[in-house]
Structure 1
């Protein structure tokens, strides 16, 4: 990485990771730096890019396709793993039809042909545009978001007597894991609403602010031992204001397979969760889901009887 480029990027709020071979990287970083509101950090390999994604807080990744230890698709997969909210620009002469676009799922990717006469002049503009578009999107949504919201609506939570049961459950979770806060939250269209919360007075959080927006996209329990070390969340003012340091979240999955909420244990200090503890948290999430399903079944049965 160029020292000068790193120092320049550190003075700017919008840092762009540029990935290309050694012969072309300087031209790419120069195009990004010329945009004025952007600053470049650079890598010339997939491995180097992956390491920087772990260490740096970046707002976009500009990557070539051909790299010495892989391809731009490997870089985009690393983005999806380490910073899925960060958009990418694939800057390559390889035509789109020769690229496996299935690898783009769950990330925002723009394509720019580097063989165009004004490609380098346009690169800064395209990068800024994809950053702004990403900010407007705000957060990642599952591909089946409409179906998921339909499933959630079917529970009609306001009509279910679940408050006391969920409060007892969050008390138990907090005690079991010895954490400061445990909550049960439903992930609605634009926010997460908390049905019960031990150790905190959480009403709701926007989906841009809550970690559960990311956790719900994972099949397994998501654990962040120290948020300060995670580029996705270490600049989240809401989490900082709440003093949250560690997070563990398990999916509440409805019988039709849709994830409608999360059961979470969070703490004000760094926390590790081993495989057994992760399995236990998932058990608590399944218990919460069973309570919802039981209450829904009883309500539906009463409705059917009343309709006879």
Structure 2
């Protein structure tokens, strides 16, 4: 599958940019000639990289970078322009993966496709969003002695019930550790662990409410995720497992092999199941702590 790159530039330059991008057979170009048109495309299509000029009819390339942050913050951007870096507010790049390429360089057009692929690969391999209080979250997770707790059978029964209730292909309970998600129980799939880069729960845990992705192939954040494609996942819904101190340590999720949405009532029910999973974990840990205290005495 070709990687979709959004090319943004003025009307007299856009064809030249799109041609340079499509010289790389692994890339396909979508085009926009204004900041507003770029916003509309980013909202409507799964885009894995943006190549943008600086001077646009209704703004600058920095506004395109801002639009990327709003829709898919991890999507990389190549600023392809003859405006020198000294005249660009590079502080605006801090929250996005942005590469600068001077279009006046002799080999700039030949290098554009290579650079786009490079930043796409870097984005996929090296970056995922972490909560601001990640250290505290991991400390909270470490308080649960999961390997020693008798929770496997309870969680397996719970995931069976969840899948049946929602008529979903897959349901799972996963704890989100430093670099991976550890699946404690999974109905309908053979999931053990996934890296944080590959799991949708890395994004879902940042939302207070249930996160629903009706069609993964139409979501720029996940459309190019080969791990999800290999698992045949097309839709997702995830609810937070939240500890008593407010830290999110895991997720209770639904997966399906076809596009699917969940209404407000279904989302509330999934949150209830996530609360139940957390209550089971808390109860088992409390019993475990009490047993240790008895032995110590």
The TM-score with structure 2 as length reference comes to 0.80
Is the 2:45–2:219 contact (alpha carbons within 8 Å) kept by the matching residues of 1?
no
Q: How many residues align?
A: 293
Match of 1:50 among 33, 36, 39: 39
Which sections of structure 2, spanning at least 5 residues, go unmatched?
A: none
Which sections of structure 1, spanning at least 5 residues, go unmatched?
A: 1-11
1:142 aligns with 2:95: no
- Partners of 1:220 and 1:270 lie apart in 2 by 20
**Which segment is superposed worse, 182-191 or 251-260?**
251-260
Residues 104 and 223 (structure 1 numbering): CA distance in 2 closer, same or farther, change over 3 Å? farther
Match of 1:154 among 126, 130, 143: 143
Match of 1:253 among 216, 226, 242: 242
How far apart are 1:246 and its partner, in Å? 2.0
How far apart are 1:231 and its partner, in Å? 3.7
How far apart are 1:80 and its partner, in Å? 3.6
How far apart are 1:289 and its partner, in Å? 1.7
Match of 2:64 among 69, 72, 75: 75
* 2:205 paired residue number: 216
* 1:193 paired residue number: 182
Match of 1:171 among 152, 160, 178: 160
How far apart are 1:25 and its partner, in Å? 3.4
- Partners of 2:223 and 2:20 lie apart in 1 by 28
**Which segment is superposed worse, 84-93 or 250-259?**
84-93
Q: What SS is found at the alignment partner of 2:137?
A: helix
1:230 aligns with 2:223: no
Q: What SS is found at the alignment partner of 2:280?
A: helix
Match of 1:182 among 171, 180, 184: 171
How far apart are 1:215 and its partner, in Å? 1.8
- Partners of 1:66 and 1:18 lie apart in 2 by 13
1:121 aligns with 2:119: no
Is the 1:76–1:104 contact (alpha carbons within 8 Å) kept by the matching residues of 2?
no
* 2:274 paired residue number: 285
The TM-score with structure 1 as length reference comes to 0.77
List aligned pairs for 1:28-39, cutoff 5 A. Answer: 28-29=17-18, 32=21
Q: What SS is found at the alignment partner of 2:125?
A: helix
Is the 2:175–2:181 contact (alpha carbons within 8 Å) kept by the matching residues of 1?
yes
- Partners of 1:75 and 1:251 lie apart in 2 by 32
1:60 aligns with 2:43: no
**Which segment is superposed worse, 283-292 or 13-22?**
13-22
Match of 1:299 among 282, 288, 292: 288
Q: What SS is found at the alignment partner of 2:120?
A: helix
- Partners of 2:286 and 2:62 lie apart in 1 by 46
Is the 1:148–1:260 contact (alpha carbons within 8 Å) kept by the matching residues of 2?
yes
Match of 1:204 among 187, 193, 214: 193
